[in-house]
Each structure stands twice: as structure tokens, then as C-alpha cells.
Structure 1
Amino acid sequence: MAESVGDHILRRLREWGVEQVFGYPGDGINGIIAAFGRAGDRPRFIQARHEEMAAFEAVGYAKFSGRVGVCTATSGPGAIHLLNGLYDAKLDHVPVVAIVGQTERSAMGGAYQQEVDLQALFKDVASDYLVEVNVPEQLPNALDRAIRTALTRRAPTALIIPSDLQTEDHTPPAHAFKQVPSSPPGLVAPRLVPDEAEVLRAAEVLNAGQRVAILVGQGARGAAAEVEQVADILGAGVAKALLGKDVLSDDLPFVTGAIGLLGTRPSYELMRDCDTLLIVGSNFPYSQFLPEFGKARAVHIDIDGAMIGMRYPTEVNLVGDARTSLQALLPLLSGPTDRAWREKIEENVARWWRTMERQAMLDAKPVNPMRIVWELSERLPLNAIVAADSGSVANWYARHLRIRGDVRASLSGTLATMGPAVPYAIGAKFAHPDRPAIALTGDGAMQMNGMAELLTVARYAGRWSDPRLVVCVLHNNDLNQVTWELRAMGGAPKFEESQTLPEVSYADFARGVGLEGITVTSPEELGPAWDRALAADRPAVLDVHCDPEVPPIPPHASFEQAESVVQAVLKGDPDAVHLVVQGAKTKLQEMLPGRRT
């Protein structure tokens, strides 16, 4: 039997080592779906509940494995649904390949059913590589290039394959004019070495500093040991961009934690008071949280020259792999003899963690949301993978989750879209079926798409050698982050018609689809509930009823923001008194570090 184009696509994916494709079927990819059947489900077809979830699962798989994630969808509406997940990949620099169907070639341009101009639709999100395959001879070159480009440029790419082409016999490209062959699958990323003269200049800048700060992002993940050595030599503190949260352990006394709106006071003070800044593998966009322009000399290391030196007026830019660049720098570095700066950083960090614990343990109605993440940190398996959603949960994840051991963690960092935590965790389980995965999500995201994706969890849990996938829902019946943004940025009270969510039991829903379901309605139940979920023999949903009026106050909140919240209260916020009490109690823990209020 002749090999079809669909058969060839799957064979080439197997040759690239692709083990699963996340997707949802439709007649625009019937030829590929039929090929999965003939291939004995190799690679495995992982059926999401929605194409957007398939894309998020591919992103989660790629984030936590370092390999390319692959997703597929039918023409028209299926392809459209992929877009949000693919934009998440684009903005967070994640290698994902989308294989999408298209109407038959004979119908193109005829306003046919489900005909959408997919090249125009994907032109931006897959700008690094997008091609419509119209003859069999275009394969395998098009697929190989899509994968190589995704991996090399850490970006989403897309193949559009008309439905009738998928069932045609595959004909390889000939040694002929205007036919393009390909080479066997495989790609070893090069170690980019920075210019030697620029390394010397960078060392001079860093050695001259008396108060050095380091900012790391996800690009520093492979250079954790080198970052630690540089910080020790220079007596520096290390702040972490949100996507770089898992680069260094939070048990290191000089790691100040997250930076920015979701950041910590030690990170804020580190940037405020430093005289020298080293940025490693980060494109952190909020320059107002970096040192004042002109106050600090700065060096930036990044593998992508297009992204370097664009957030702060840096004096030296090293284009190169983070680990290779730091290894070149290390023999040239000599830190200050006075370690007072480093000692101050470590004191601030230790004081901050004590403050975070006191804030987490404050009474609330019924459970303090900060305590949810704090109690997880106390029990977090050292090989766990944590995915967090957007919303107020991202605040507690950023400030209260302590990274230790080999823990990996991520969220939608730049797009900050709702809904990726559960599909990220599913992707993580296919990347590492022997490791526990934890999704931290709000009830808004859970109602948006997480509940449906619990069906995907239940369906595939038997394939994971470690069955633990814990979905923790911060159940407060409020679209909480937007509620606080209304108050803090606009001085507007909570508008209940847009912000209040319908009541539902997530634990009951979980039990209904065969998962463990645990409900928590008091703080005393929280620790034992985490223990139970992390010891379960199946995936679990932890449904924690928590207080929506615990404010995600930045440690550097401006007077204007505080004034806006007061205005919201005066304008008749529905729970004004409780809001003010919780805010005052929370902020007081920073002001009186020796007491619990």
C-alpha cells in the first residue's frame, strides 16, 4: 500500500522523536487522523476538549521538556481556536509546530464551507515560518523546516495542508529544478560564544561595582550554577523575572525573588539601591522596576541579539548562550572586599520570608489565598512541576511559592492569558509522566476551560507512571484580579454583574469524572488537604474556598494606587469594610515584622 501524505507526516514526526500530537479532529484533517489509525497511534493523538487547550498543552509540553510541542486542528474554526495558545508560545519564546487543515484545493477561493484565509490568519503568530503545502513534493522539507525553525528561534511555526492533499500518495522531491530536498531529522543547538573583547569590557563594568544586582530570566535556566558563582564573587543579589522563577532555588539567601508588579520588596530594593546591573537571559519589560536610568551601569547577556539592550540603557551587550558567556566572564571577575551590600540583601530576604509567612497565616473569610500557596511550598515535592494561571493566583504563586530542588514552574508570562494552568499541567505530564504536576488556578479560569479539561486528565491519567496531577482551585466566586485592578487603577468599586462568578463545586465535578475531589472551607483543613492530594493514587482537584478581599498589594504600592482603592470604597464597594480590614492587616505585616496581627 502506497504511503499517503498523511502517513508521511506522521513518519517524519516519529523520526524527529515526536511522541504525541495534541489536537482535536475535524474533516479538514481527516487524512491525517486516518493516518494516526494506520500508524498504531504513533505518535499518540492526545484529544483535548478544545483546540485552544491542545495548543496550550503543546506549549506546556515544550516549556517543561525543552523539546518541540506539536498540535493539530481542522480548517476554519479549529485553526482559529489554536491562535491564543500559539500566541502564548510566541510571546514566551516556546517551540511549537501547528499542523492545520484547509478546505480542498479545488474549492479554495470559492467561499466554501469553513474556508478561512489561513495564511493571513497565521501570518503574525507564525511569522518565523508559515507555509501552505500544495503538492506532496513539498514534504518533508516543509515539515523539517517548521520543526528546525521552531527549535532554533524558540517560536511557533505552522503548516497548512489542504484536506485532499493529505490522502494523496506521497512523492518525495526529485533531483530536479524547483524541487527542494531535505536532510535527516536532527538538530543540535550551538553554544554561541560572545565576543572576547566585549567580555573583557563587561568584566570591567562588573568589577567596578560596589552594589551589584543580577536579574535572571528563563534564558538563564541552563546556567544556574554559573549565576550562583557570579553572584558569590560579586557579592550580588539575584532577582528573578516571572518566567525565570525556577532558575534558582529560593533557599539561596541572596535570591530576592520575583520582580515587578508581582514582585517582592527585596527585589524592589535591590534594583532601587544597586549601582551595577547584570541581566542574564531576560526580556523583563517593565523598566520602571529596574534602576533609574543613568543610576546603574549595566551589562546584558542574551542569546538573541534582537532582544538585547532594549529594556535598560546597557553599557555592554554580550550576544551569546548564558552559560557559555558566564563561563567566559567568571575568571575575569573580582568582587568588592566589603560584603555589607550582600549582608544587607540576605537580611532583607530573610525578613521578607518571615513577613510572607505572617501574611499567609492571617485570618480571612474563610481561607487566606496566600496560605494556599504557602502550605503547598511546605510540602512541594522536589521534582514537582507547577503551572500557574493568570489572575490573582499569579500574585501568590510569584511571592509565596518557594522553588527548591528540581522543581520546574511556569505560567503565561507575557501574554498573561487566562486558562493555561490545567492544560500546561497536562502537557507537563506527557513530558515527564514520572513527576507530579500541580496546576494553580482561579475559579474564573476553571470555569472558562479548566473544568472541561479535567475530562482530558481523567482520560489519560492511566498513561502516567506517577498519577499525581493536582488542580488547586482558588474558589472565591470573583474575577479577582480585574476586581482589584478596577479598584487600584480606576478608583471604581467592584461591579458585581461583570465580576461575580456562579457557584459550583469543583470537587463534586472532579468526583463525577473519576478524580479525587477535596473541598476546603477552613484554614485548618488546608495542610491535610494538600497532604491528601499529593498522596492520592489518582489526579485530584483541591477546591479551596478563599477570601476575595485579601488584596494583592505590591510591596512598593504607590500612593496613587492606595488612594484609588480608598475612592472605590467610598463609592460603595460591596464589601468595603472587610476589604479595608484585610488590606490593613496584610500591609501591617511588612511594617511590623516582629508581630502577627
Structure 2
Amino acid sequence: MAKTAGDFVVERLSAWGVKRIYGYPGDGINGVMGALDRAKETMHFTQVRHEEMAAFMACAHAKYTGEVGVCLATSGPGAIHLLNGLYDAKADHMPVVAIVGQQARAALGGHYQQEVNLAVLFADVCDYVQQVSVPEQLRHVIDRAMRVAQAERRVACVILPNDIQELDAVETPPHAHGTIHSGVGYAAPLVVPEPATLARAAEVLNAGKKVAMLVGAGALEATDEVLEVAERLGAGIAKALLGKAAVPDELPFVTGSIGLLGTEPSWKMMQECDTLLVVGSGFPYSEFLPKEGAARAVQIDRDPSMLSLRYPMEVNLAGDAAATLRALLPLLEKKADASWRKRIGGWTESWWKLLEKRAMTKADPVNPQRVFWELSPRLPDDVIIAADSGSSTNWYARDVKLRRGMKASLSGGLASMGSGMPYAIGAKFAHPERPVVAICGDGAMQMNGINELITVAKYWKDWADPRLIVLVLNNRDLNQVTWEQRVMAGDPKFLGSQSVPDFSYARYADMIGLKGLMVDDPELVGAAWDQALAADRPVVLEARTDPNVPPMPPHITVQQAKAFMSSLAGEPELGSVLKNTARQVVSRVLPGG
């Protein structure tokens, strides 16, 4: 048969290096689906359970590989379903291309079935969105979508009316006025600031006596450079959640996560530093940074629009993290006074001891912190972690110790609930030879994780390493919001909105051919992790945890304390809340908790 426009789309994406597309079929995209079937030896199609998951998986693919992630959906409702995952990619500056179907050109404007103005719909989430009108247009539209995604780390969308997909392909547009002749390929430039700007930055950093660094996702490929600069400056390193894997947690000057989900050492360091160096982070919460005017500051970011956005920087360095740090390093003077580093090391040592005490305190039936404390030493060296949004994120942020070589990510800027499972699946397809751990709450699993376990059951035998462990914290509560109601709004837990139906996630895993494990005894948590990590197939590890163990913030404000006390007046689980809060507070002051 003649090559169709649908075939051309698949071949052009392949020429750009795309090897996998995540999506769901429908008659609006049938011409491309047929082409994917014909090209299945070179282009792999992953069928998801819902289009939103396809977009999340494409975003995860981009995060865990650095490549462009590609997702696909049919017209109307299929295209609409992509939006949440695409906004996740936009918020975290990930290169993703969406290919979406549309009704036939002759029907557009006629209130036709599944007709949606997709160009308008995608205009906010995408930096490039274009509907194809004729086959001659396809080449440059695909090329530009891929190039915009790669070069600008943005989301792009190509809209394909279904009648165009079945027309004959046009490999080379006519050499005539009004046509465009584009090409494949993009090589990222190495961007380094001007020497004079680097010198100004060095002057600020050299003058500091107490230097703090904050690193984010932009520093993930600059581990050596970050550590060298930190050694030269005698600095401590705090990490935004998207940068958790940038530097290993066992180093005494790495204070861990920052923010409401962060650590006490990170809070103290930011409050006491006199100089701040931010590398590749758009961490949004300025209240966890030094007070304005308390510290001189330098920022490095490849995106100039992110510079001086959270804190008034004295010097802004637009450039790639690793290259800029390498250029800066020769200009930095070695700090002679080690007292600042020693203080940071003391804070972190005390913090890890406190976390262990908190993890080992009693709960009913299992303290969620213990689940994570037992996991850290058991993590395989090459593990990839996909964390969800919820109270489980607190424990991931604080208690999980990452070592060098591990990968970890989550929905950062959007903080979208339900992203953990599709992230884990995207990570597994991107790196089928590596073990993957998904960290999810029961709310996220009921939102969409249960369905995506079916996707795991469909494909897991294709993976070189079958290990995908899904941790589910079964606490029958939308726990993060419950604690936000108590601490931020001063309201008691609203059972009508917060209680989640109980469900046997482990038994469900067994039913669909995976392995299910359930643990409700704290003394058996470690053994459960050992069993999960040794399994010959994907595992759902269901931990029945106590919802009333408080995710203690690194610093409690007077307003938060007053709100919490106010919430107790109508608290339906008052006894458990008070008991668990007391245990967490006592663990700080008494030996052995």
C-alpha cells in the first residue's frame, strides 16, 4: 500500500530518535494507530488505561532519560484527558510532544461529535501547538514540535484531523512559494556566562563565611561539579524535591530536602547562612529561604526567566549547571575556616538520629516513617524511585537516603496526585534493566494507580529486570489534606471528604498475576521489603499505616500551632492524634523516644 500521512508521522518521529509512544486508541487517531502497527519493529506503542497516564508516562520518560517523551490520544475526550499530565511536564520544564486526533476537516466548525477547538484547548499548556491542514505541512510541523520540545524543554502539540492521516504522504513539499523545507536534528549548545559575570559571582561567594547551596533538577547532571564547589566554599547543600538525587544523602554536609516537607538542618542552614548559591532550582516557597537582605545570593539556571524569581539575586548566571560551575570553580577560594561545615555536620547527624527515633515510635498498626526507614538501606544501587503526591511524599523527602547513581523524581511544580504509578511505568519502559520503586498513598492508588497495575500486568514480562515494587500506604485517609486542614486551616478532620474506602491492594495484585504482600506488624516491615525486592515479578507491598502520625514540619510557626490547637476541638480522632503527636515530640528530647 502507499505510504500514508500517518506512516510519515511515525517515521518522522523515529528519525528524531523517538522509540516509544504512550497512548490510547480512538477513531480520531486511527490513521496513526495503523501506522504504528506497521512500524512496530522500530516504534513501540504502550497502551495505557487512561490518556492522562500516557501524558504522565511521557513526562516521566523525559525526566528519567533526558529525551523527548511522546504521548498520543484521539480527538475530543481523549485529547482533553491528556491535559493534567501535560501540565505536569510544563510545570517541571520537561520536553514532551503530544500527538492528538481531530475530526475531519470538512466537519470542523459544524458542532460535530467530539469536535473540540484543540488549538485553543492546548494553547496554555503548549509552547507550540499546530493543527495540520494538508500533508505537505506535516514535515515541518513534526520537526518544529520536536525541536521546540528539545531546545526549550517545553510541551508541544500536533493536531491531526483524521482524514489527513489516511491521505498519501508527502515526503518532500514542492519547491514553491508558501512551502517550508525543514530538517531533523538538534544539538544543545553549551551555555556559560561571560567571564566578567562569573568574576562578580565569585566575588560574592568568596566573601561569604557561611555559604548555603540549594540544588534542584537542573543540577542532576552536575553532581561532581556541585560537590567540588561545595568543598571549595565549605558550603552545606540543601535539595529541592526534584533535585533529591543530585547529591548523595550520606554526606554530612548534605542537609536533605527543603520546605514544608524538608528537614530541620536545611531550615537552620537557610536561616543562618550569609551567602546563598542556587543551582538549577525553581523551589517556590520563599519563606524557607533566607530573609530578604540577610544573605547575598547567586543563582545558576539555564532558563533566564527563572533567575532572581524567588529571592533577589546579586548575580544571575544564565547557563548550564555543570559547565557554569566548572567555569566558576577556578575563581573560588578555599575556605580556611571549617566551623560552618562542622555546625552543619552536627545538625545533620542529630537529624538522622531523630528520624530513626521517630520511625521506631509506636503507631497503630505501623508507623509510616518506619516503612521508609527500613527501605533506605535495602535500596538497590541502580534503583529508580517514582514518588506520588500526598503524605507519603513527606516520608520520601525526609527519610529515604539516596546514594549516588540512583534516580528519583515526582510531580514537582504541579504536585499532582496520582502521578506515582505512571511515573514508575514510564521509568520501567525507559530503563527495563533497572529496579523501580513506586511510592504511593491509598488515595492515589484509588484515583488511578489500581488501573495502571493492569498495564504493569500486561507488559512486565517484556522487562529485563521484572522488579517494579509499588508501595501503598493504606491508611484509609487522604492524609496530606487532613493534616493541612488541621495545621493550616485550624479545622478538624472532615470524615466526609477525607475517609478513603478500605481496599486490599495486595490481594488485587495477586488476582491480576502480580505478587501481593501485606504488612501490619512493624517488626515485619524489613522482611517484607526483602521479599519484595527478591521477587520474580512486580510486587504491590501494602503497608497498613497509622494516619495520625504527624508529618512534623522543620519549623512550626505560632500560626500553625494555634491552628492545630483550634482543630482539636472537633477532631473525630482526637485520642490518636494527641498520642501520636506526643510521641513524635517526645522522640526529640528523650533517649530512645
Structure-1-length-normalised TM-score: 0.98
**Equivalent residues of 2:247, 2:404 under 8 A apart:** no
After TM superposition, the structure 1 = structure 2 runs for residues 11-26 of structure 1, keeping only pairs within 5 Å, are 11-26=11-26
Contiguous gaps of at least 5 residues in structure 2: none
Aligned residue number for residue 584 of structure 1: 582
For residues 588 and 189 of structure 2, the distance between their equivalents in structure 1, rounded to whole angstroms, comes to: 46
Aligned residue number for residue 98 of structure 1: 98
Task: Report the secondary structure of 2:220's partner residue.
Answer: helix
Task: Report the secondary structure of 2:82's partner residue.
Answer: helix
The one-letter code of the counterpart of 1:596 is G
**Structure 2 residue 59 is matched with structure 1 residue 59:** yes
After TM superposition, the structure 1 = structure 2 runs for residues 66-465 of structure 1, keeping only pairs within 5 Å, are 66-126=66-126, 128-171=127-170, 172-183=172-183, 185-465=184-464
State the Cα deviation string for residues 539-565 of structure 1 (Å, max 9, x = none). Answer: 000011000000111020112212212
For residues 231 and 586 of structure 2, the distance between their equivalents in structure 1, rounded to whole angstroms, comes to: 33
**Equivalent residues of 1:57, 1:426 under 8 A apart:** yes
The one-letter code of the counterpart of 2:395 is W
The one-letter code of the counterpart of 2:478 is L
| Deviation for aligned residue 1:41 | 5.2
| Deviation for aligned residue 1:218 | 0.6
For residues 586 and 102 of structure 2, the distance between their equivalents in structure 1, rounded to whole angstroms, comes to: 59
The one-letter code of the counterpart of 1:39 is A
Aligned residue number for residue 592 of structure 2: 596
The one-letter code of the counterpart of 1:176 is A
Say which is worse superposed, 98-107 or 34-43, in terms of deviation. 34-43
After TM superposition, the structure 1 = structure 2 runs for residues 512-551 of structure 1, keeping only pairs within 5 Å, are 512-551=511-550
Task: Report the secondary structure of 1:440's partner residue.
Answer: strand
**Equivalent residues of 1:10, 1:42 under 8 A apart:** no
Say which is worse superposed, 433-442 or 335-344, in terms of deviation. 335-344
For residues 325 and 44 of structure 2, the distance between their equivalents in structure 1, rounded to whole angstroms, comes to: 40
State the Cα deviation string for residues 563-593 of structure 1 (Å, max 9, x = none). Answer: 212211122x11111111111211222344x
**Equivalent residues of 1:36, 1:42 under 8 A apart:** no
For residues 320 and 137 of structure 1, the distance between their equivalents in structure 2, rounded to whole angstroms, comes to: 37
**Equivalent residues of 1:130, 1:157 under 8 A apart:** yes
**Equivalent residues of 1:217, 1:281 under 8 A apart:** yes
For residues 453 and 217 of structure 2, the distance between their equivalents in structure 1, rounded to whole angstroms, comes to: 29
| Deviation for aligned residue 1:40 | 3.0
After TM superposition, the structure 1 = structure 2 runs for residues 35-54 of structure 1, keeping only pairs within 5 Å, are 35-40=35-40, 42-54=42-54
For residues 583 and 40 of structure 1, the distance between their equivalents in structure 2, rounded to whole angstroms, comes to: 55
| Deviation for aligned residue 1:527 | 0.6
For residues 224 and 539 of structure 1, the distance between their equivalents in structure 2, rounded to whole angstroms, comes to: 31
**Equivalent residues of 1:516, 1:539 under 8 A apart:** yes
For residues 535 and 85 of structure 1, the distance between their equivalents in structure 2, rounded to whole angstroms, comes to: 32
Task: Report the secondary structure of 1:222's partner residue.
Answer: coil
State the Cα deviation string for residues 363-412 of structure 1 (Å, max 9, x = none). Answer: 10000011111111120011000011101011001001111031111111
| Deviation for aligned residue 1:503 | 1.1
**Equivalent residues of 1:26, 1:73 under 8 A apart:** yes
The one-letter code of the counterpart of 1:101 is G
The one-letter code of the counterpart of 1:71 is C
For residues 552 and 236 of structure 1, the distance between their equivalents in structure 2, rounded to whole angstroms, comes to: 28
| Deviation for aligned residue 1:150 | 0.7
| Deviation for aligned residue 1:428 | 0.2
Task: Report the secondary structure of 1:115's partner residue.
Answer: coil
For residues 286 and 562 of structure 1, the distance between their equivalents in structure 2, rounded to whole angstroms, comes to: 20
| Deviation for aligned residue 1:525 | 1.5
Structure-2-length-normalised TM-score: 0.99
RMSD, aligned CA: 0.9
Identity of aligned residues (%): 56
For residues 316 and 44 of structure 1, the distance between their equivalents in structure 2, rounded to whole angstroms, comes to: 46
**Equivalent residues of 1:212, 1:234 under 8 A apart:** yes
Aligned residue number for residue 7 of structure 2: 7
For residues 85 and 590 of structure 1, the distance between their equivalents in structure 2, rounded to whole angstroms, comes to: 40
Task: Report the secondary structure of 2:437's partner residue.
Answer: strand
**Equivalent residues of 2:237, 2:254 under 8 A apart:** yes
Task: Report the secondary structure of 1:116's partner residue.
Answer: coil
**Structure 2 residue 555 is matched with structure 1 residue 575:** no
The one-letter code of the counterpart of 1:217 is G
For residues 289 and 504 of structure 1, the distance between their equivalents in structure 2, rounded to whole angstroms, comes to: 38
For residues 73 and 19 of structure 1, the distance between their equivalents in structure 2, rounded to whole angstroms, comes to: 17
| Deviation for aligned residue 1:432 | 0.5
| Deviation for aligned residue 1:360 | 0.8
For residues 51 and 23 of structure 1, the distance between their equivalents in structure 2, rounded to whole angstroms, comes to: 6
For residues 215 and 165 of structure 1, the distance between their equivalents in structure 2, rounded to whole angstroms, comes to: 49
**Equivalent residues of 1:100, 1:158 under 8 A apart:** yes
Runs of 4+ in structure 1 over 2 Å off? 587-592
**Equivalent residues of 2:365, 2:521 under 8 A apart:** yes
